Structure formats: C-alpha cells, structure tokens
Amino acid sequence: MAPKKSAQALAENQGASDHVTTPFDDDVLAHFRALILDKRKDAVEDVAKMQAQIKDSRERSESDSAYSFHMADAGTDAMEREKLYLMLARQQKYIGYLDRALERIDNRTYGICKVTGNPISRERLEAVPHTEISIEAKLKQKR
C-alpha cells in the first residue's frame, strides 16, 4: 500500500504545482530560455552528426565484402554503431527535456518543483536548466 500513498502524494503535489506560477521575472525567464535554446541547438547538432556517422557506418558495412576485413573488425564496427544508437537516443531524450523546460517557461511554471510545488533554486536551474525537481525532492527520491 505504501507505493500507492506515495503516488497519490506525488499526484497531489503535481496538482499543486499546476497552480503555482514561476518565481522568476521576465528577464530571468529570458535568460533561461536563451540558455536552454543554446543547449538545445548544441544537442540538435550532435544528433545530426551522430545520424551522419550511423549512415556512413551502415553504408560502409554494406559495401564491404565478407572477406575485406577481419571478423573482429566487423564486431568492433557493430559495437561502435550500437554505441552511437545509444548516444543518439540519449541526446533525443535530452532534447525532449529541454523542450518541456521551454514549455514550462511559456506557461510560467518554470522553476517550480513538480514533486513539492516549491520553487527550485536558481543555482540548480543554472546547473541543470531542464530540471523539473528541486534538490530536496531529488534527495527524497534516493531514499
């Protein structure tokens, strides 16, 4: 029963944060928007580079004959492609977090912890501008 209570408490806290507006003024929100957009631009560029590497790797593997390189090399190439796919998925997830942060800026809920409903410190947002939870909530989750 304990997990249901904590889920219910979480839902109640999330509901509370829906009614709380950002503790930041328009200038601070503009600063965070620029910071997030810069990080998003870098992440999108990384995704494009990784997609190009994957395409190049795939094309090379298709054009190589079975006898043109050692089996260990083929395994290494496959492992590198798999790593690229994982990094690509991670960057795409990160872009989603950044997009949600931009939505929170737009609807003026940016900087409100979705767990506690309290303001997230500016220092935390400077370090992790896409965060949705405060340090206090993060520490509670680890317990």
Nearest to 118 by CA among 137, 143, 97, 98: 137
Per-residue pLDDT at 7 exceeds 50: no
Q: Return the structure tokens found at 21.
A: 């507006």
The whole-number pLDDT of residue 71 equals 57
* pLDDT tier at 94, thresholds 50, 70, 90: very high
Interval 121-137: pLDDT, tens = 999 999 999 999 999 98
Instruction: State the chain's maximal CA–CA distance in angstroms.
Output: 65
Interval 19-49: pLDDT, tens = 578 899 999 999 999 999 999 999 999 999 9
Q: What percent of the chain has pLDDT over 70?
A: 76
